[in-house]
Amino acid sequence: MLFSELGLSPEILRAIEEQGYSEPTPIQAKAIPLVLSSRDLLAAAQTGTGKTAAFMLPILERLKKFANTSVSPAMHPVRALVLSPTRELADQIGVNVKTYTKYLPLRATTVFGGVNMDPQTAELRRGVEIVIATPGRLLDHIQQKTIQLNKVEVLVLDEADRMLDMGFIQDIRKIMSMLPKERQTLLFSATFAPEIKRLASDFMKEPQTVEVARQNATNEQVEQLVYSVEAGRKRYLLSHLIKQRDMSQVIVFCKTKISADQLARDLKRDGLVAEAIHGDKAQTSRLEILSSFKEGSLRVLVATDVAARGLDISELPFVVNYELPNSPEDYVHRIGRTGRAGASGVAISLMSPAETRQHEAIEKLTRQTLTPQVLAGFEPGSSAPREESSHRRERDRDRDAGREHGREQARSAARTPARESQRDPMSVPASALMAGKSGEGLKTIKPAGSSRRSRKAQREVPALLLPPRYKVEVNR
């Protein structure tokens, strides 16, 4: 089947052909006709199979009748709303929409948090037919009355399972209440859970269901490898694999922001060009890092699961699970970053003895047997190689040296007041005593010839500072 057989207009087909696509993927071939029929749709497909085009191309075909070049904002109300769980996914959808609307006078914009709202507000007030948004930032614009949703005809919930995992259900319900009741609702996801079907029953009218792959299935084009290794040696095994396999580009997934930052620093010490990306990074920084990675100037991208959705790197060859995820569904999304659009890829997981439970959950969900391998030199329980031990000793020495330096400074600071208090005040030169300012530790001693009381004060020395000269006998 060809795209030209799906009932799409010449303007859309021309934009698709310029991207090098002529045949739709299975999810596109099944979903596009259903969306064009204005039916609600519940679609499941493994990540990387073209879900964005599956819902956006028919939406553009539907909105084509509203396309115009008028400068009046009233001629460009919001007619299609796409909700995304993450900023990265929203941005990726926005890039695709701009590509597909190259020859159509339809306006689109993307709104998400972490950046200044003013440019987004200006775009919305100018008038746009298509809005791609994260739920939180969309509610911010609704509260500030910079967007109206009373003419929305199509709503898309992309990666709906992820939105539920991230706690967006109340935001979604609030947004739903502001939309017209007569609308088309499309729900796309890589996985289907019972919660997703309950959500569909609440907001959709007799939805058609499309599944092009078994639920939670992984891409057959992705080779999955698992290496058993001690947790403390994962970093060294990772560096070894990157160099041994000559990984030109790789995404490495960690569970926490702290471990992602630490791993990026460790890889830099090993001479690798690496950066971390996670929710605490400013949006501008995240976009710059992603841009460098897509351009190829960044070799290793260390990411938390915030980047598991929405990263579309063409022909990404490798993905590494540095830490196995607690949710086995996240494993499916992580390794879905490679092997996209029919390309092959390799997904490597580093499993410590404490991660056996996560490994078993992944095997159960994907219905696959992922036998852990042991790489020579990195056997669990074996001693570390000489260079690795040397590196650890060097790091420990640096750490201990820093601690000893801090303790020495503390001891020096503690000794200084003691020495000052033991100094014989009669040994201090008169010029130094005369130079002291009142109230700063030394009192100014007036020269001889002043009052008798002053001369007596000069001779007075605290008894505790005088050496014992006389033996005092006490008569009993």
Torsion angles phi and psi, residue 67, rounded to 5? -65, 135
Torsion angles phi and psi, residue 457, rounded to 5? -65, -30
- Residue 376's pLDDT is 87
Q: What is the DSSP secondary-structure string of 112-169?
A: -SSS-HHHHHHHHHH--SEEEE-HHHHHHHHHTT----TT--EEEEETHHHHHHTT-H
Task: Name, in order, each residue with C-beta under 8 angstroms of 205's C-beta and a sequence gap of 6 or more.
Answer: 40, 185
Burial class (CB in 10 A: 0-12, 13-18, 19+), 115: middle
Rounded Cα distance between 231 and 240, Å, is 15
Domains of the chain: 3-211 (3.40.50.300), 222-395 (3.40.50.300)
- Residue 129's pLDDT is 97
Tokens of 343: 């390309």
- Residue 67's pLDDT is 94
The distance from CA 373 to its chain's CA centroid, rounded to whole angstroms, is: 29
Question: Using N-to-C axis directions, what is the helix angle for 135-143 and 169-177, rounded to 10°?
Answer: 40
- Residue 441's pLDDT is 43
- Residue 1's pLDDT is 78
To the question of pTM greater than 0.95 for the whole model, the response is no
Task: Name, in order, each residue with C-beta under 8 angstroms of 421's C-beta and a sequence gap of 6 or more.
Answer: none
Task: Name, in order, each residue with C-beta under 8 angstroms of 322's C-beta and a sequence gap of 6 or more.
Answer: 234, 238, 252, 253, 254, 259, 263, 302, 350
User: Residue 92: what residue type?
Assistant: Q
Question: What is the pLDDT tens value at each position of the chain, 476 positions in all?
Answer: 788 889 899 999 999 999 888 889 888 999 999 999 999 999 887 666 788 999 999 999 999 999 999 999 999 999 999 999 888 889 889 999 999 999 999 999 999 988 899 999 999 999 999 999 999 999 999 999 999 999 999 999 998 877 877 778 889 989 999 999 999 999 987 667 777 778 888 888 888 988 876 556 676 778 999 999 999 999 999 999 999 999 999 999 999 899 999 999 999 999 999 999 887 888 788 888 888 988 889 999 999 886 555 566 767 889 999 999 988 888 888 888 887 666 788 999 999 999 999 999 999 988 889 999 999 889 877 655 555 555 555 555 555 555 565 566 666 655 544 444 444 444 444 444 444 444 444 444 444 444 555 554 555 555 555 555 545 455 54
